A = this chain, B = another copy of it.
Amino acid sequence: MQESNSSNSPSLSHINAKGEASMVDVTRKSVTQRAAVATGKVMMSKATFDLIVSGGHAKGDVLAVARIAGIQAAKKCADLIPLCHPLMLSKVQVDFEPDESQSQINVRALCKLAGKTGVEMEALTAVSVACLTLFDMCKAADPEMVISDIKVQSKTGGKTGHWIREQGTVNNGASAC
């Protein structure tokens, strides 16, 4: 990962030798093109799923609201996560894939920038807040919804080059960025 220290053993980001929080120093890192894709999902009852998606199309503004919330949250990442560096995203995209068989909405976010730090936290934040926003609009109908499987699918740029999540439940995102 581009923000690890230089020792061989993995360690915590943003935590110094005394166990204190301290934003990683990226002053001398070079600017490279970076991208990250994260995914997650909101699981709901069949009735709630049908409220959002009918006849194969989402009703009105529902997904639009969640999409905007996700995009705006990506821009607020450094304000929400204490040790994230402020950065200037050059692209944010949030997509939804309603999965009728599982009665869930899959959420995917892509973030890009030309900068010194990776953007996976921005992508994860976009997914999280898009999921929360879907929850907010459906909570009267279905308070038992669950938000799950929020994770990074791929990232490019920086020291580590192109990283893709391995197998499992992953849809690998190879073409994503």
Residues in A lying within 8 Å of B, measured CB to CB: 1, 3-5, 10-15, 18-29, 33, 35, 40, 43-48, 51-52, 59-62, 64-65, 67-69, 71-73, 75-76, 78-95, 112-114, 116, 120-121, 124-125, 128-129, 131-133, 135-152, 155, 163, 165-166, 169-173, 176-177
Question: Is the Cβ of B79 less than 8 Å from the Cβ of A85?
Answer: no
Question: Is the Cβ of B140 less than 8 Å from the Cβ of A10?
Answer: yes
Q: Which residue of B lies closest to A175 (CB)?
A: B143
* Chain B contacts for A22, CB-based, 8 A: 92-94
Question: Is the Cβ of B20 less than 8 Å from the Cβ of A64?
Answer: yes
Question: Is the Cβ of A61 less than 8 Å from the Cβ of B15?
Answer: yes
Q: Which of B19, B35, B80, B93 meets A129, CB within 8 Å?
A: B80
* Chain B contacts for A114, CB-based, 8 A: 27-28
Q: How far is the CA of A137 from the CA of B92 in the complex (A)?
A: 15
Interchain nearest-CB distance for A136 vs B (Å)? 5
Q: Which of B88, B90, B138, B147 meets A12, CB within 8 Å?
A: B138
Interchain nearest-CB distance for A106 vs B (Å)? 14
Greatest chain B CB density within 10 A among A25, A28, A72, A93 is at A72
Apart from A65-B68, A81-B129, what 13 extra A-B contacts exist at CB < 8 Å?
A3-B139, A10-B48, A12-B141, A13-B141, A20-B67, A21-B61, A24-B91, A69-B81, A120-B143, A141-B173, A144-B170, A144-B176, A148-B148
Interchain nearest-CB distance for A33 vs B (Å)? 6
Q: How far is the CA of A142 from the CA of B68 in the complex (A)?
A: 23
Question: Is the Cβ of B80 less than 8 Å from the Cβ of A76?
Answer: yes
Question: Is the Cβ of A15 less than 8 Å from the Cβ of B71?
Answer: no
